[in-house]
Amino acid sequence: MSYEKVAQAKSNVIVGTKQTIKAMKNGAVQLVVIANDADRQVTSRVIHLAEDLGIPISYVDSMKKLGKSCGIDVGAATVAIKQ
């Protein structure tokens, strides 16, 4: 489900942990998508901030598939969909 949501919102996605955190702090994010196979040290800050700000989190299985849904050739640990 979330892979399709990311693919549909391709022009409104932010890829990467640092950019996702920055966008969440600016209030520009409606949903965060996190790959389950990503390193928890990488994703934990995003998860905690999203929970603190009340931003919904969706989980997917694969970094590789998540990156592909964003139109990039590498895996993505976190993706934010902008409002």
Mean pLDDT of 3-9: 81
Q: What percent of the chain has pLDDT over 90?
A: 80
Q: What is the pLDDT of residue 66?
A: 93
DSSP 66: H
Q: Give pLDDT tens digits for 13-50.
A: 999 999 999 999 999 999 999 999 999 999 999 999 99
Say what the pLDDT of residue 81 is: 93
pLDDT surpassing 80 at residue 10? no
**In the chain, what are the domains?**
2-82 (3.30.1330.30)
Phi, psi of 39 (to 5 degrees): -65, 125
Q: What is the reported pTM?
A: 0.90
Identify which of 81, 69, 3, 77 has the alpha carbon closest to the alpha carbon of residue 42: 77
Measured CA to CA, the distance from residue 79 to residue 33 in angstroms comes to: 5
Confidence of residue 1 (pLDDT cuts 50, 70, 90): low
